[in-house]
Amino acid sequence: MKNRTVLKCLAVFVCMLGVIFSLPVTASVATEPLEGEDFVKVSQNSHFELYVRPSTTEFMVKNLEDSSEWFSCIQNAQDDPYVGGIHKTEMQSLLSVVYYDSEGVMNTINSYASSVLNGDFVLERLKNGYRVTYSFDDGILKIPLEVTLSKDGLSVDVFTSELKSDEGYSISEISVMPFFASGAEGESGYIFVPDGCGGLISFDEDKTGIEEYSRRIYGADITNNSTQLSEINDRFPLTLPVFGIKRENSAMMCVISEGDSMASVNAYGAKNISAQNNVYASFALYSNMEYTFSSNSVMIFEKNSVKLCDISEKYYFLSRDDADYSGMASKLKELMIESGTLSKKEIEPAPYITLYGGIKTKSSFLGILVDSVIPLTTTGQVKEITDSAKENGIDSSIVNYVSWNLFELKGKSPTAFKINKKLVSGGISFKELMKSEDFTFVPTVSDVFSYTKAGNIISKFSSPASDIAGTALYKKKLSETTLQEYGERWFFLNKKYIIKNLNKLFGSAAESDSDYVGLSDVSSMLYEDFSKDTMKRYQMKDIVTERLADLSKEKKLVLDNPNYYALGYAQQLINIPMKTSGHLLIDKEVPFLQLVLNGCIRYASQPLNYENQSDIVLKLLETGSMPHVFMYYADESSVKNTEYSHLGSGDYKKNLKLLSNIYSELLEVYSRIDNAGMIMHKAVADDVYAVCYENGAVIYINYSADSFVTPSGNSVAAGEYLLEEAMR
């Protein structure tokens, strides 16, 4: 009996040892129950501590690196002199929700006012954090939220499969922790938004009366009837699913890892709705629209039975020298390298030339207007231009050949890698250009997801995407010069034809003789489709990435300012913006996107044809970009009084000289940097910036009207730059 007791004790002891040695690094701090008015520690590791206040469900993260504390909700929100109405309770909420009731009336509620104050929530401890399920307004909506700690940051998740709503209720939008990333009036710091190249919203600038910043990640959705043409034709979209904030000597960056295709980045300046400067993500779940027929209007809602992707945000905390936008970019690059999306490479400089093959226009035939193609640059003329480029000292150019595809120039969605015969001349075949050793030839296909009705007589009734009302979606294009609508109606492919046409086009491209394939809208456009087989934006993203992955195994892809999910399939990038959208809340433009990409992949600027000539070289050096111009062989008068008048100033002789001058100057600087990657960008004075490289080289960019003296004692004249090379 005694021996049996001893054996039992030994067995228990062994089991306990097994449990102890199997505990994860980020073990929860379990013992006390989740209840009370004070913050309770629920998880900790060597970097962070996570606390929750059970009575309110709010949390606090303590960064042990710098002792900074980040609260999910505003403490003492009631004392804010600027806040009122629903915003007062939003400041104390982890979730804000927009929904439509059974009468079609829109309601905005939040977790504090509609759940916490009623005590109508369930709080549960998790291994490394906690889970709270909010019941809103007597249970008409139920939404679960999980907050967990890991060794590198904080995860916040909403599992959409577990959302519950009463019949007839439709959740339109969820905003997650609208005041977690916030800084009060009077604090030092700024908000970072991934607008274009990257924008900063400074705390110390008066934002009174300036409207909220709210822009969709990956561009506007054409299925929303309130979407403006300017949003669809946006040259400065949000291509990265991130945002961040610097507050005093600490910083935090959020990466949206799931639900990014549904997300918008929103920001307020202090004194607009509160004393806080804040940034957060909202997620559009189910769509709705007001449909008008005759004199009657009715609200139409998407069915709640449609499957949604989950929402997942990961927050990274940065300290000391890393606590700024350069540190955020460095962290994002690190994450992308770890995931295999990017990899470090030695990048050789190269100039980029976009050549327009032809344009589609109307001409009269026997008194009837018919479509015709005006050649701008034929295959033989491509050879003439590239020969002339060499004479101008432009070697190793990347020739991005656009508007050449047979189907594209007929107004159809391209389904084959075939050139319009009108563009073949001078005894130079399309295949010869593809195989040229004098330059890199990139045949680029555009408008893959869109077409004009006139060009698709057979499939025009079966292929277009539809809005919730079942109406075929169409938009016109927007002139970059006049900002006016022009041309024919363009329709967009539904899910069935997206899959069908991509398979055909990519199959044809894979079999072509070209080493390179360029893609425009394929890697940068997402939308929803409510035709027979509903397609959410995340489903379109999955369709596109799957096919890009396959094609990238066969060809080297050159992508046009692609969205985050497509970056891993690109060999080169073109049309990467060096500016922001110019939203009034944005105080400074910073090369955040370029800091992420530099040293991993070569990227070219948007066309420089219309840029301020005095600042071109400075901006290229500040962003580490390759120069890029568009041109064509035909006379510039060819595009006048056509839908393509915005392509004026495309004369190839004039633009080759421009490119030659810019590239020769850049090449001298980039060669001295010796393939090192950009690691930091910072303001060192008003309108003066330092761009730092891995090897210790620094480029000083002086946009100011005064000279600047570097810490080494060198003078940088107004409107000039200076490279200080690393000590060897």
Query: Six-digit token pair at 604?
Result: 């070219």
The yes-or-no verdict on residue 281 having pLDDT over 70 is: yes
**Integer Rg of the chain from CA:** 28
The yes-or-no verdict on residue 475 having pLDDT over 70 is: yes
Mean pLDDT comparison of 215-224, 368-377, 639-648, 652-661, highest-scoring range? 652-661
Rounded Cα distance, 487 and 396, in Å: 37
The yes-or-no verdict on residue 8 having pLDDT over 50 is: no
What mean pLDDT comes out for the span 163-178? 94
Q: Where is average pLDDT lowest: 18-22, 109-113, 123-127, 626-630? A: 18-22
Where is pLDDT greater, at 460 or 711?
711
Q: What is the pTM of this model?
A: 0.92
Rounded Cα distance, 412 and 435, in Å: 27
Residue 18: pLDDT band by 50, 70, 90 thresholds?
Answer: very low
Q: Where is average pLDDT lowest: 274-283, 639-648, 714-723? A: 639-648
Q: How far is CA 390 from the centre of its chain?
A: 36
Q: For residue 166, what are the contacts with CB-CB under 8 A and spacing of at least 6?
A: 102, 139, 140, 141
Rounded Cα distance, 10 and 4, in Å: 10
- Measured CA distances, 589 to 48, 597, 699 (Å): 32, 17, 17
β-strand pairing of 440-445 with 516-519 = parallel
β-strand pairing of 572-576 with 602-605 = parallel
Rounded Cα distance, 131 and 123, in Å: 6
- Which of these, 173, 222, 220, 213, lies nearest to 194 by C-alpha position? 213
The yes-or-no verdict on residue 430 having pLDDT over 50 is: yes
Encoded amino acid at 251, one letter: A
Q: Looking at residue 727, what is its pLDDT?
A: 57
**Do 335 and 383 contact (CB within 8 A), yes or no?**
no
Q: Looking at residue 156, what is its pLDDT?
A: 98
What mean pLDDT comes out for the span 477-497? 77
Rounded Cα distance, 171 and 183, in Å: 29
Q: Where is average pLDDT lowest: 53-62, 464-473, 648-657, 670-679? A: 464-473
Tell me the pLDDT of the chain averaged across its residues.
90
Rounded Cα distance, 205 and 209, in Å: 12
- Measured CA distances, 560 to 54, 89, 479, 577, 603 (Å): 48, 43, 19, 10, 10
Residue 246: pLDDT band by 50, 70, 90 thresholds?
Answer: very high
What mean pLDDT comes out for the span 649-670? 96
- Which of these, 542, 567, 543, lies nearest to 557 by C-alpha position? 567
Rounded Cα distance, 228 and 232, in Å: 7
Rounded Cα distance, 167 and 169, in Å: 6
- Which of these, 171, 398, 173, lies nearest to 263 by C-alpha position? 173
**Do 631 and 719 contact (CB within 8 A), yes or no?**
no
What mean pLDDT comes out for the span 557-581? 98
What mean pLDDT comes out for the span 579-599? 97
- Does residue 222 come out as left (phi exceeding 0), alpha (psi in the -120 to 50 range) or beta? alpha
